[in-house]
Amino acid sequence: MNPKKDDAGPKLLSGGNPQIPKGEGDGPVQAYVAAMPGWKSEIGRRLDELVTTTVPDVRKAVKWNQPFYGAHEDRWFLSFRCYTKYVQVQFWQGTSLDPVPPKASKHDEVRYLDIHEEDELDEAQLRSWIEQAARLPGTKV
CB 26 within 8 A of CB 51: no
Q: What pTM value is reported for the model?
A: 0.91
Selecting from 1.10.10.10, 1.10.357.10, 3.40.80.10, 3.90.1150.200, what CATH number does the domain 12-135 have? 3.90.1150.200
pLDDT tens digits for 79-129?
A: 999 999 999 999 999 999 999 999 999 999 999 999 999 999 999 999 999
Percent of the chain predicted with pLDDT > 90? 84
**How sure is the predictor about 10, in pLDDT bands with cuts at 50, 70 and 90?**
confident
| DSSP symbols for 5-67 | GGGG-SPB-GGG-B----EESHHHHHHHHHHS-THHHHHHHHHHHHHHHHSTT-EEEEETTEE
Q: What backbone torsions phi and psi does residue 53 show, to the nearest 5 degrees?
A: -80, -25
What does the radius of gyration of the chain's CA atoms come to, in whole angstroms?
Answer: 15
